[in-house]
Amino acid sequence: MSHLDHTPSTPGKFKMDKSAYPYHGGRLRWHSSLAKLTFWSFVFIGVIFIFFYRSPSSSSSSSAAATTSSSSSRFHSDPSRRSLRTSSWGGPAWEKKVRTSARIRSRNGFSVLVTGAAGFVGTHVSSALKRRGDGVLGLDNFNDYYDPTLKRARQALLERAGVFIVEGDINDAALLKKLFEVVPFTHVMHLAAQAGVRYAMQNPGSYVHSNIAGFVSLLEVCKEATPQPAIVWASSSSVYGLNTKVPFSEKDRTDQPASLYAATKKAGEEIAHTYNHIYGLSLTGLRFFTVYGPWGRPDMAYFFFTKDILNGKSIPIFEGENHGTVARDFTYIDDIVKGCLGALDTAQKSTGSGGKKKGPAQLRVFNLGNTSPIPVTNLVTILERLLKVKAKRNVMKLPRNGDVQFTHANISLAHRELGYKPTTNLQTGLKKFVRWYLNYYSAAGKKADAR
């Protein structure tokens, strides 16, 4: 396919109604005290040392950042093989590709490093940035958390759009430093992460390696850059964990994670606070709520439900205690892209230079959801209509493996500060996904079992 979804995501640069961007009272109110922040910082650093140095072969960063509903074990290799991998890089020809891809082609455009560019969200964001004239350079390690051929197909899609993806790991400090030497990036869109709630029970070290150590590695390079870039990065709605107050607001407590994945994303938010406070880095965290759409992740429920329904296999339908409904705030990829671009366009410059802070810097976190939780049973019903196949439903209790029963985003802050307003309902979004799925897996002799 030559386009992400026939009609690509979000053309044009986001424009605010306000003449100047106020940073929500100077800073978001963080609930933790300085003592609590210091405590958590030491805890996270300790975890990094334990996992990073005891498990040097843990997974490198995944090329997606989104909430997961299941794992696709077919592509989960032995954790001992999931080490930091970086392809050869450097040289005049390589540097020329990097510069060409990152060249700004619009007035007042950005030069953006997109980590996890071959991932689901990364591909859509990279494409949208390139279309509006920004310079875009991708970085991805193409690990095998799920089918790498899908990532390679996304890479080919971006290459046709003029986006070069450097194959490397965010933990490779030498590579990151080289990229910043070749290109003075104005912004970083950090989407690389080890995704998946349940996979953390199989390979916990990969989450610390990618989501904590990898994030720190990136921030270390960014703080030394001159000028420092503004950073927008993917947190997750999973940070709300066992919180029972709905809809979830950025002011709600996030100290009860229900999974290791959620804990690493919460750790990322605390680390972002630390680097903002010490080094003057401008940091904006985006809490994504169950992103879906064309070119999505095979481990997500809507994706493997489609596969299994077409193959006549039963699909698991979870229910909470006392037959309670399991629902998700499904958010279409185009709406997420609008939020990502809005965050980039409103990000203020970092205030440091060469590792030295020169003044207070912007620190933000936003929910990006759809504000209308849909029961998973309704999702299945919509898929049945679109696929014209009756699903074999296997109702079972929600397992205690990190999944939560309900997610619901309060997006009033994102609407006010970013102009974020989702417009795609689940019926419309799934229709676009199914059309892409059938086209993609029927092309070039591929089977619809998404192997």
261 domain-assigned: yes
399 domain-assigned: no
pLDDT-derived band at 290 (thresholds 50, 70, 90) equals very high
Question: What pLDDT does residue 29 have?
Answer: 42
313 domain-assigned: no
pLDDT-derived band at 173 (thresholds 50, 70, 90) equals very high
Question: What pLDDT does residue 445 have?
Answer: 52
Tell whether the model's pLDDT for residue 262 goes beyond 80.
Answer: yes
Q: Which residue has the tokens 């140095």?
A: 53
pLDDT-derived band at 438 (thresholds 50, 70, 90) equals very high
276 domain-assigned: yes
d(CA 164, CA 205): 29
Query: Average pLDDT over the chain, rounded to whole?
Result: 84
Side chain identity, residue 344:
L
Question: What pLDDT does residue 244 have?
Answer: 85
Catalytic residue among 145, 207, 261, 292: 261
Q: Where are the alpha helices (DSSP H) in 103-212?
A: 120-131, 148-160, 173-182, 204-207
44 domain-assigned: yes
Q: Where are the alpha helices (DSSP H) in 286-358?
A: 301-310, 333-346
The conformation of residue 248, written as its DSSP 8-state character, comes to B
Tell whether the model's pLDDT for residue 13 goes beyond 80.
Answer: no
Phi, psi angle pair for 224, to nearest 5°: -85, -10
What are the DSSP calls for 249-270, one per residue?
Answer: -TTS-----SSHHHHHHHHHHH
d(CA 60, CA 367): 27
Which of 354-391 are b and which e, b meaning 16 or more Cβ less than 10 Å from the residue's Cβ? Answer: eeebeeebbbbbbbbbbbebbebbebbebbeebbeeeb
d(CA 156, CA 167): 13
Question: What pLDDT does residue 69 have?
Answer: 38
Question: What pLDDT does residue 403 have?
Answer: 67
Q: 191 to each of 140, 242, 246, 286, 409, how far by Cα in Å?
A: 10, 24, 26, 10, 20
Rounded average pLDDT over 213-220: 98
Contact of 107 with 134, CB cutoff 8 Å: no
261 is catalytic: yes
Question: What pLDDT does residue 322 have?
Answer: 60
pLDDT-derived band at 32 (thresholds 50, 70, 90) equals very low
Tell whether the model's pLDDT for residue 108 goes beyond 60.
Answer: yes
Rounded average pLDDT over 302-325: 87
Least confident of 42-56, 197-211, 305-319: 42-56
398 domain-assigned: no
Dihedral, CA of residue 74, residue 76, residue 78 and residue 84, to nearest 10:
150
pLDDT in tens, 400-412: 655 677 798 999 9
Rounded average pLDDT over 225-234: 96
d(CA 215, CA 192): 9
More confident residue, 450 or 70: 450
Nearest partner of 316 among 401, 394, 398, 403, judged by Cα:
394
Tell whether the model's pLDDT for residue 131 goes beyond 90.
Answer: yes
382 domain-assigned: no
Question: What pLDDT does residue 443 have?
Answer: 78
CA atoms within 13 A on the CB side of 322: 0
Question: What pLDDT does residue 44 have?
Answer: 55
pLDDT-derived band at 252 (thresholds 50, 70, 90) equals very high
Tell whether the model's pLDDT for residue 270 goes beyond 60.
Answer: yes
pLDDT in tens, 39-90: 455 555 554 544 444 443 333 333 433 333 333 443 444 443 344 455 688 8
More confident residue, 199 or 278: 278
Give me 194's structure tokens: 């080890």
**What CATH number should be reported for the domain holding residue 92?**
3.40.50.720
Question: What pLDDT does residue 23 have?
Answer: 37
Nearest partner of 85 among 64, 118, 62, judged by Cα:
62
Give me 361's structure tokens: 């810097």
Domain that holds residue 134: 24-291+333-370+408-423
pLDDT in tens, 316-335: 988 766 657 788 999 999 99
Side chain identity, residue 231:
I
Q: 285 to each of 37, 85, 141, 234, how far by Cα in Å?
A: 17, 26, 22, 6
Tell whether the model's pLDDT for residue 21 goes beyond 80.
Answer: no
Least confident of 85-99, 327-341, 389-403, 419-433: 389-403
Question: What pLDDT does residue 40 have?
Answer: 54
pLDDT-derived band at 197 (thresholds 50, 70, 90) equals confident
Contacting residues for 6 by C-beta, under 8 A, at least 6 apart: 432, 435
97 domain-assigned: yes
Question: What pLDDT does residue 71 have?
Answer: 38
Contacting residues for 357 by C-beta, under 8 A, at least 6 apart: 278, 279, 280, 351
Give me 252's structure tokens: 């709600």
CA-derived radius of gyration, the chain: 20
**Tally of domains in the chain:** 1
d(CA 227, CA 61): 26
